[in-house]
Structure 1
Amino acid sequence: MTTISIVSTTNTEFAQHLAIFYRSILVNDPRNDFAFYIFNDHLTAEAQVHLKRLELDHINCRSIKFLTVDEQLFQKAVTDERIIKAAYYRIYTAELLPELDRILYLDCDMICTGSLEALWNTSLKGNIIAAVEDAGYVPRLAEMNITSQHGFYFNSGVMLIDLKRWREEHITAKVMAFINQHPEQLKYHDQDALNAVLADKWYYLHPKYNMQSRLIRREQEHPLPPLEIIAEEARQAPILIHYSGRSKPWLEFGVRPHPLRHEYWKYAQIARTN
């Protein structure tokens, strides 16, 4: 049995959705234990109790712990109505969890449909993180004048991180320097900064581990045909469904319904019966 360490960020508004997401992980992987670390964005006591309830409901939920970051570190962080300052907190994961050498970062607007054991055991092949290419296939590295051998740009909603290498190469300091020195570059906020610093230092994960909304809707094909084949494999059997963008299963008035919204409500129903 393995203990898989997962970190996410949430505020009170999203706490119930994160709890449903974590429940889907625990239900689908009873063989392994899980230690969850949550960056606390002004969570109420009630929201924290709601999340801690997972320790009682699931024998494989080893712990739920809350992390705090000094907000003043992000005074120059670019934000908008969707991407708030707390989205940047994950940059400090390596510093706040010095006892860990590997962690899986996951956004809170997700659902898991299978075991994460294979993802957790993925070899990074000497890279600092593993991630899935962003489904917009945007040429952001070129737009930011970042030199890159392959030019791929990852979505930061799922990142398997070698925390030891991250510390050794001072990635936190480098990402924060980019944020503070190039605010005009941050069209996609901390995701841009992470890509700028980690260009050519990330391992390309199968998109089944970050099934983004644009990908499941087939909004565009991958410019490289072999990678579009892999994208279709992911559509047929996603492991981590990422409700990226504005279309959330719990907020579908005035937006196009998400094609995989039923997966969210399946685990929400399990939560109600516990």
Structure 2
Amino acid sequence: MKTFESGFFALENFIAKKEDFNFLQDSESTPWHITYNVNDPFFTIMGASIVSVLENNQDHPLVFHLFTDGYSQENRDKVRQLAEKWHCRCILYELNMAPFEDFHVKVARFSRITYGRIYMPKVLKDMTDRYVYLDADTMVIASLAPLFSLDMTGYAMGAVSERPKDAAYRGEYLKLKNGKYFNDGIMVVNIPEWEKQGITEKAFSFQKEPRERFLGQSQDVLNLTFDGTNLFLPSEYNEFGGGQDDEGKGVIIHWTGRRKPWQMVLLPFDPQWRTYNALSPWETITNTLPIKKPENYHDFKQWAKYRKKDSFMEYIWGMFWYAWLRLRYKL
């Protein structure tokens, strides 16, 4: 395993700035800790996710740890407003991204902030033994209590497997020995076991690897690190595709893939996400149809696909805009 200089993983080497907005009220219950990692443009999206957690877990004190690579004064103020309104605690961390610079970036539009989740246990270990990590494009629709009472003896982390076909393909590509592959967009982390197994250190050993070795970013690195030794959770804790396959058991909806609820309202859970967005301090998103921008051309194909069974004219409308915007985008 790659070795690091003494003090490399010290907090002062990773945390450039920290702001703590604590509006928790007195409670006999031990707070639950929730984490995110986002860059500045995704605060609006994350805000809806945070509200969904608060709305569906009102009987428990909550602490949100928000890891960023920088944030605006406006977003900082809105985080404070959210904490005050909902009587929760929000801690903003601006990460020093230099220690992450040797991790690969698979697609140019992506950010290395995704690797922040690998370091989180080092930050939270003096505050709690367990936390739930959520991607910004998730929505909680039920209590998280089962995740905070889950027996994780011997397991550093729990996550949901990717769909069988995707897991097999990605596992084979990465040459995983166990043939298992999880989605890291929702994780429950057992910090003492994570530290005992040296997960952060092992994950950082994959720095400087050529990006051609990977299909993704942090998710591939964590799958290589665990190689199937993590706890696998039921699918209701990570309902892919915006819950399109949910059978009424979903706890956490996750908009994997390109289609997002802030771009258009198409499937049943999309309006619910808009409700949480409207309750947050951030701007309320009102468009319900795909946005006519070249980079969003793929949304119209999705729209056409799902509307075809109800309205052939809407199908034609969607495919027309898909073809036109795709042509403009490619040119």
TM-score, normalised relative to structure 2: 0.70
* Cα separation, partners in 2 of 1:143 and 1:84, compared to 1, 3 Å: same
Q: Which residue of 2 aligns with 1:152?
A: 180
CA distance in 1, matches of 2:187, 2:281: 30
User: What secondary structure, in the 3-state scheme, does the structure 2 residue paired with 1:51 have?
Assistant: helix
CA distance in 2, matches of 1:138, 1:165: 25
Runs of 5+ in structure 1 lacking a partner?
A: 219-233
CA contact 2:65–2:91 (8 Å) conserved in 1? yes
Matching of residue 250 in structure 1 with residue 262 in structure 2: yes
- Post-superposition offset of 1:259: 4.4
Q: Which residue of 2 aligns with 1:141?
A: 171
- Post-superposition offset of 1:93: 0.7
For residue 127 of structure 1, the aligned residue among 131, 143, 155 is 155
Q: Which residue of 2 aligns with 1:229?
A: none
Over 4 Å off, 4+ runs: none
CA contact 1:132–1:210 (8 Å) conserved in 2? yes
- Post-superposition offset of 1:245: 1.6
User: What secondary structure, in the 3-state scheme, does the structure 2 residue paired with 1:126 have?
Assistant: coil
CA distance in 2, matches of 1:181, 1:270: 43
For residue 269 of structure 2, the aligned residue among 257, 260, 264 is 260
Deviates more, 1:257-266 or 1:41-50: 257-266
CA distance in 1, matches of 2:197, 2:210: 20
Percent identity of equivalent pairs: 24
Q: Which residue of 1 aligns with 2:92?
A: 66
Structure 1 segment 1-274 matched on structure 2, within 5 A:
1-59=29-87, 61=88, 63-79=89-105, 80-99=107-126, 100-135=128-163, 137-139=166-168, 140-148=170-178, 151-181=179-209, 183-213=211-241, 216-218=243-245, 234-252=246-264, 257-271=266-280
* Cα separation, partners in 2 of 1:145 and 1:271, compared to 1, 3 Å: closer
CA contact 1:16–1:50 (8 Å) conserved in 2? no
* Cα separation, partners in 2 of 1:128 and 1:182, compared to 1, 3 Å: farther
User: What secondary structure, in the 3-state scheme, does the structure 2 residue paired with 1:57 have?
Assistant: helix
* Cα separation, partners in 2 of 1:76 and 1:25, compared to 1, 3 Å: same
Superposition RMSD on alpha carbons, in Å?
Answer: 2.2
CA distance in 2, matches of 1:122, 1:83: 33
CA distance in 1, matches of 2:94, 2:68: 6
Name the larger-Rg structure.
2
CA distance in 2, matches of 1:65, 1:81: 29
- Post-superposition offset of 1:83: 2.8
CA distance in 2, matches of 1:184, 1:172: 22
* Cα separation, partners in 2 of 1:199 and 1:51, compared to 1, 3 Å: same
CA contact 1:6–1:35 (8 Å) conserved in 2? yes
CA contact 1:104–1:158 (8 Å) conserved in 2? yes
Greater RCO structure (CA 8 Å; 6+ sep): 1
How many positions carry a matched residue from both structures? Answer: 251
Residue 261 of structure 1 aligns with an amino acid whose one-letter code is: D
Runs of 5+ in structure 2 lacking a partner?
A: 1-28, 285-331
CA contact 1:67–1:96 (8 Å) conserved in 2? no
- Post-superposition offset of 1:147: 1.3
CA distance in 1, matches of 2:267, 2:40: 23
CA distance in 2, matches of 1:194, 1:179: 12
CA contact 2:104–2:208 (8 Å) conserved in 1? no
User: What secondary structure, in the 3-state scheme, does the structure 2 residue paired with 1:246 have?
Assistant: coil
- Post-superposition offset of 1:57: 1.1
CA distance in 1, matches of 2:79, 2:229: 34
* Cα separation, partners in 2 of 1:160 and 1:272, compared to 1, 3 Å: closer
CA contact 2:156–2:189 (8 Å) conserved in 1? yes
User: What secondary structure, in the 3-state scheme, does the structure 2 residue paired with 1:36 have?
Assistant: strand
- Post-superposition offset of 1:92: 0.7
CA distance in 1, matches of 2:273, 2:108: 23
